[in-house]
Amino acid sequence: MLIRLQKVIADSGLVSRRKAEEWIAQGRVTVNGRVVRELGTKVDPAKDHVKVDGRHLKEVPPQVFLMLNKPKGYMSSLSDPAGRPTITDLLTGVGLRVFPVGRLDYDSEGLMLLTNQGEIAQALLHPRYHVAKTYLIKVKGVLTDEEIGALERGVELEDGLTGPAVVKKIRKAKENSWVEITIHEGRKHQVKRMLETVGHPVIKLTRVRFGSLSLADLPRGHYRYLTDREANQLRALVRSRQEAVAASREPSRLVAPPARRPTRQSHPARPARPARSTHQARPTRSTRPASPARWAKPSRRRKA
Ligand code: URA
């Protein structure tokens, strides 16, 4: 596959793409022994020998991110001791080893992210990073505004209180209805258990968004590679969450007590609590509670 020279250098982890362009213009880069100053040059990393300042680039496997629309009836793991169909059956043609970021139940469907980037995968799954996941759900009955309020504030499950959620009514049918729920955790069967708790068992569950990614019109059972833009948005999301978590650990100067000269009796200053936890962060579109009793447009149209 032919790839722009500056991208090959940047993908090797050596420098940014912009810096690589400078190096190319400065004549520091050779391809198959010849200096290349042309920024549009494309090379095949599998065949061409690219050197910077006379040294070979480190062999780095390309970063792979892809999304799969898992159908129900497939395990979201790569293998299954019980021999049931797994998502591996759907990933034909993916040359590199990729791992699912999180799971979906056997009878759930929708967006699954897969990558060979362990650090990003771990960060996206870390409960402290609160990555939003949105599900379109068909439930038994119709949720009342009180039940929606309870789900949004948090309901008590056997493994503890759930965090804040956003619930939107989408559509009602005769006996069932569709709702969209956004949560920031990833406990086992969490959405099903939340809805069971308020008396509305789940009939069908589809994950339609994961962080900055949307399932959109990817057909069931198909996968596609993320665009550069989507992959960069994921990286930026992870970076911003890492920064937010690091900042929440730092004592905040705003709320720190005024400096006092230490006396023999005084205790060492306790680190001040951060002004806001990430949970209390200023509401954004995805965390603002939905206004009650309004039937909103679904993210993805489906038949009731
Ligand atoms: N919550 C569930 O209950 N099941 C899923 O598959 C995903 C989220």
In order of start, what are the domains of the chain with their CATH numbers?
Answer: 3-56 (3.10.290.10), 65-247 (3.30.2350.10)
Predicted confidence at residue 247, as pLDDT, reads: 85
Condensed to tens digits (0 to 9), the pLDDT of residues 98-131 reads: 999 999 999 999 999 999 988 899 899 988 888 9
Contact by Cβ (8 Å): 139, 195: yes
Of 247 and 176, the one with more pLDDT: 176
Listed in sequence order, the residues at least 6 apart from 163 whose beta carbon sits closer than 8 Å to its beta carbon are 130, 154, 183, 184, 185, 279
Q: Write the DSSP string, 90-125.
A: G-TT--S--EESS---TT-EEEEEEES-HHHHHHHH
How many CB atoms neighbour CB 173 within 10 A? 11
Answer whether 208's CB lies under 8 Å from 136's CB.
yes
What are the contacts of 33-39 at 24+ separation with CB within 8 A? 36/5, 39/4, 39/5, 39/6
Residues 6 or more apart whose Cβ sits within 8 Å of residue 237: 124, 131, 211, 212
**Two tokens at 191?**
């959405």
**Enzyme catalytic residues:** 105
Q: For the sheet with 29-31, list strands across it.
A: 34-35, 29-31, 50-52, 55-56
pLDDT in the model for residue 251 = 66
For the CA of 108, the closest atom of ligand 1 is: 6
Q: Could you read off the pLDDT of 201-239 as tens digits, one per residue?
A: 999 999 999 999 999 999 999 999 999 999 999 999 888
Cα of 105 vs centre of ligand 1, distance in Å, is: 6
Neighbours of 41 (CB within 10 A): 16
Spell out the residues 6+ positions from residue 66 whose beta carbon is closer than 8 angstroms to its own: 94, 98, 113, 114, 115, 223, 224, 225, 226
Please give the distance, rounded to the nearest whole angstrom, from the Cα atom of residue 235 to the centre of ligand 1.
24
Kindly report the average pLDDT of the chain as a whole number.
Answer: 83
User: Can you give the pLDDT at residue 130?
Assistant: 87
pLDDT of residue 13: 73
Q: How far is the CA of 2 from the centre of ligand 1 (A)?
A: 40
Measure 7 CA to ligand 1 centroid, in angstroms. Answer: 38
In this structure, the residue with its CA closest to atom 7 of ligand 1 is 104
Percent of the chain with pLDDT over 70: 82
pLDDT one-digit tens code per residue, 183-199: 999 999 999 999 999 99
Residue 276 has pLDDT above 70, yes or no: no
Rounded distance from Cα 184 to ligand 1 centre (Å): 12
Q: Are 85 and 75 in contact (CB under 8 A)?
A: yes
Separation CA 43–CA 64 (nearest Å): 19
| Residues in Cβ contact with 5 at an 8 Å cutoff, skipping those fewer than 6 apart | 20, 24, 29, 31, 36, 39, 41, 42, 43, 50
Rounded (to 5) percent helix, strand, coil in the chain: 25, 25, 50
Cα 5 from chain centre:
29
Looking at residue 244, what is its pLDDT? 82
Q: What is the pLDDT of residue 186?
A: 92
- Residues touching ligand 1 (Cβ under 6 Å) are 104-105, 108, 189-192, 205
The pLDDT confidence band at residue 31, using thresholds 50, 70 and 90, is very high
Rounded Cα distance between 283 and 152, Å, is 13
For residue 106, what are its two tokens? 């056997």
Residue with CA closest to ligand 1 atom 3: 189
Ligand 1 centroid – CA 97 distance (Å): 25
- d(C-alpha 250, C-alpha 231), whole Å: 29
Packing angle of the helix pair 118-125, 228-249 (nearest 10 deg): 60
